[in-house]
Amino acid sequence: MEKVIESPRAAAESGDARSVVILGATGSIGKSTAEIISGAGGAFRVAAVAGGRDALALARVARELGAKFAALADPSGYAELKEALAGTSIEPAAGAEAVVEAALHPADIVVGAIAGAAGVAPTFAALSAGRTIALANKECLVCAGAPFMRQAAAMGTRLLPVDSEHNAIFQAMGDADLATIEMITLTASGGPFRTWTSEAIAAATPEQALAHPNWSMGPKVTIDSAGLMNKGLELIEAHYLFAIEAARLDVLVHAQSVVHGLVAFVDGSVTAGLAAPDMKVPIAHCLSYPERIKTAARRLDLAAVGQLTFERPDLVRFPALRVALEALRAGQGLPTVLNAANEIAVEAFLDRRISFHEIASIVEEVCEAAWAAGAAHAPETVADALEMDMAARELARGVLPRNGGLRAAVRLN
* Residue 16: per-residue pLDDT: 74
CA atoms within 13 A on the CB side of 217: 27
- Using alpha carbons only, give the angle 279, 123, 14 rounded to the nearest 5 degrees: 70
* Residue 410: per-residue pLDDT: 34
CA atoms within 13 A on the CB side of 371: 14
CA pair distance 33, 36, nearest whole angstrom: 5
Radius of gyration of the chain (CA): 21
CA pair distance 390, 402, nearest whole angstrom: 19
CA pair distance 100, 23, nearest whole angstrom: 9
Q: Are 340 and 389 in contact (CB under 8 A)?
A: yes
* Residue 411: per-residue pLDDT: 36
What is the DSSP track for 148-166? Answer: HHHHHHHHT--EEE-SHHH
Q: How does pLDDT run along the chain (413 residues), one tens digit per residue?
A: 344 445 555 555 555 799 999 999 999 999 999 999 999 999 999 999 999 999 999 999 999 999 999 999 999 999 999 999 999 999 999 999 999 999 999 999 999 999 888 899 999 999 999 999 999 998 899 999 999 999 999 999 999 999 999 999 999 999 999 999 999 999 999 999 999 999 999 999 999 999 988 777 778 889 999 999 999 999 999 999 999 999 999 999 999 999 999 999 999 999 999 999 999 999 999 999 999 999 988 899 999 999 999 999 999 999 999 999 999 999 999 999 999 999 999 999 999 999 999 999 999 999 999 999 888 899 999 999 999 999 999 999 999 865 443 333 333 33
The residues spanned by each domain of the chain are: 8-162, 166-277+299-305, 331-411
Please name which of 185, 228, 249, 234 lies closest in space to residue 314, comparing C-alpha atoms: 228
CA pair distance 335, 145, nearest whole angstrom: 9
Helix and strand numbers, DSSP H then E, in the chain: 19, 11
Q: Are 51 and 30 in contact (CB under 8 A)?
A: yes
Per the omega criterion (within 30 degrees of 0), is the bond before 219 cis? no
The domain 331-411 is placed in CATH, from the list 3.20.80.10, 1.20.1430.10, 1.10.1370.30, 1.10.1740.10, at 1.10.1740.10
DSSP-derived 3-state class of residue 265: strand
CA pair distance 394, 398, nearest whole angstrom: 6
| Terminal-to-terminal C-alpha distance of the chain | 42
Residues in a beta bridge with 46: 20
Residues in a beta bridge with 160: 134
Give Cβ neighbours of residue 291 (< 8 Å, ≥ 6 apart): 7, 8, 9
DSSP-derived 3-state class of residue 50: strand
CA pair distance 116, 136, nearest whole angstrom: 10
CA pair distance 19, 130, nearest whole angstrom: 14
pTM for this prediction: 0.89
Please name which of 281, 286, 402 lies closest in space to residue 353, comparing C-alpha atoms: 402
DSSP-derived 3-state class of residue 104: coil
Q: Which fold has domain 8-162?
A: Rossmann fold (3.40.50)
If residue 143 lies in a helix (H) or strand (E), which one and from where to where? helix 139-155
Q: Are 126 and 150 in contact (CB under 8 A)?
A: no
Q: Which of 240-263 are b and which e, b meaning 16 or more Cβ less than 10 Å from the residue's Cβ? A: bbbebeeebbbbbbbbbbbbbbbb
* Residue 11: per-residue pLDDT: 54
Q: For helices 164-173 and 229-241, give the axis angle rounded to 10 degrees.
A: 30
